[in-house]
Amino acid sequence: MGSFKKHEAGSSTKDLKKPQQPLPREDTPLIGKPAPLSSQTKTFANVFIAIVGAGVLGLPYAFKRTGWLMGSLMIISVSALTFHCMMLLVHTRRKLESSEHGFTKINSFGDLGFVVCGSIGRGIVDVLIILSQAGFCISYLMFIANTLVYFFRTSTILGMSAKGFYIWSCLPFQLGLNSIATLTHLAPLSIFADVVDLAATAVVMVDEVVISLKQMPEVAAFGNLSVFFYGIGVAVYAFEGIGMVLPLEAEMEKKEKFGGILGLSVTFIALMYVGFGVLGYFAFGSETKDIITANLGAGFVSVLVQLGLCINLFFTFPLMMHPVYEIVERRFKGGEYCLWLRWLLVFLVSLVAMSVPNFADFLSLVGSSVCCGLGFVLPALFHLLVFKEEMGWKGWFLDVGIVVVGVVFGVSGTWYALMEILSVKK
């Protein structure tokens, strides 16, 4: 669940064929600069940063709902499908940039959509990126507010819900941070955020092991089949980061090894997710909360971990919103900086965060409604359109199958997540 950065603007196929200086785009890697090219180690780190985010904190609760074995199988399956679809994007870009087609500047997911499907393709990619990035930011505000509610044990403040009070308290500071036009001063904060995430994950996993050995609560291997699509949504959300793949591959020094490094990174993340989810569920059983840190009690280490996560998510918010600003300003303000438009978007994100009651249910909603389309449907569809004349029936079957599975997961998971959210509100 890592952050996109800048967006390359392009208006025609002709523009993409001309050699030119790279314009800002939404997904510049956080580690390393365009020159020199990234080493294998930096590429591994960039993939980790692009994928791992706050969504990991909702995995133990998801495992409680789906069962630990079903949840583990979902994570492994989604990780394999995510890796395959990421490589579909890479192969499609390489094909289009070959001498046969002559495109030389396909730097982002949006560029690829434009080359394959024209303005409609770029438009669909842009909309899904806006929804996914805004969804991440909504989950950040929910996490911060829910954590503070848990700390201070109060349900109302100044006549409003405590959750609402904390979200609106963040608003003026976020308006200030999101007014910064360039990411130059904010990028180090994102690296800090991911370091804290990794450290917090390690601390929580150690606590989970100790607690599970003491309590050994009753756990289930499989949940009801009705929660299948819910679990898929959470798993897809946890692996969202496909928009980083094209720029990362483009900036790798030994591009022929990119597939291996990407596969190694995704495998490592999948194993970490499974371990984190299983240990969290084994530690607290049926008492597992939607944000696992709420189960850790009020000890010094627990408080430090939770506050650290709140701080890093607070400062990651403007980084995650930046691609939204780039796309919206390009479409409505000719690419010019627009302060009031940014403030309006921050306000709308805060408003949605107020109305969603459950963190993990929201992860499932975003994963199903947006990330299935962005991570599975579009990569397979673009690959099919570009390679349709040279693929055999097996290739057609695989691409069409992924598109169908992505649509089914997306529609069914969205419906289930919405029902869960609405039932909680009632």
Q: Which residues have CB under 8 Å from 47's CB, separation 6+?
A: 241, 244, 248, 261, 262, 265, 266
Under DSSP, the state recorded for 160 is E
Q: How far is CA 29 from CA 80, 83, 301, in A?
A: 23, 18, 32
pLDDT digits (tens, 9 = 90+) for 358-370: 666 777 777 777 8
Domains of the chain: 13-19+38-425 (1.20.1740.10)
Cis peptide bond upstream of 36, omega within 30: yes
d(CA 229, CA 411): 9
Residue type, 137: C
Q: Which pLDDT value is given to residue 194?
A: 65
User: 153-167, 240-254, 272-286: which has the minimum mean pLDDT?
Assistant: 240-254
Residue type, 94: R
Is pTM beyond 0.85? Reply is no
d(CA 407, CA 270): 23
Whether 10 shows a pLDDT value over 70: the answer reads no
Q: For the chain, how long is the longest CA-to-CA vector? A: 66
d(CA 217, CA 215): 6
Q: Which pLDDT value is given to residue 401?
A: 92
Q: Which pLDDT value is given to residue 83?
A: 93
User: 80-89, 167-176, 191-200: which has the minimum mean pLDDT?
Assistant: 191-200
Of 56-65, 236-245, 363-372, give the range with the top mean pLDDT: 56-65
Backbone angles phi and psi of 18, in degrees to 5: -80, 135
* Average pLDDT over all residues of the chain: 78
User: 40-44, 162-166, 233-237: which has the minimum mean pLDDT?
Assistant: 40-44
What does the DSSP assignment read for 255-307? GGGHHHHHHHHHHHHHHHHHHHHHHHHHHHGGG--SSGGGGS-S-HHHHHHHH
Residue type, 352: V
Whether 126 shows a pLDDT value over 90: the answer reads no
287 CB neighbour count, 10 Å cutoff? 10
Under DSSP, the state recorded for 252 is B
What is the band of 345 on the pLDDT scale with cuts at 50, 70, 90? very high
Q: Which residues have CB under 8 Å from 356's CB, separation 6+?
A: 138, 142, 362, 421
Whether 388 shows a pLDDT value over 50: the answer reads yes
Strand segments, DSSP code E, in 123-256 are 156-157, 160-161
Question: Which H helix or E strand runs over 199?
Answer: helix 187-215
pLDDT digits (tens, 9 = 90+) for 371-383: 888 889 999 999 9
Residue type, 195: V
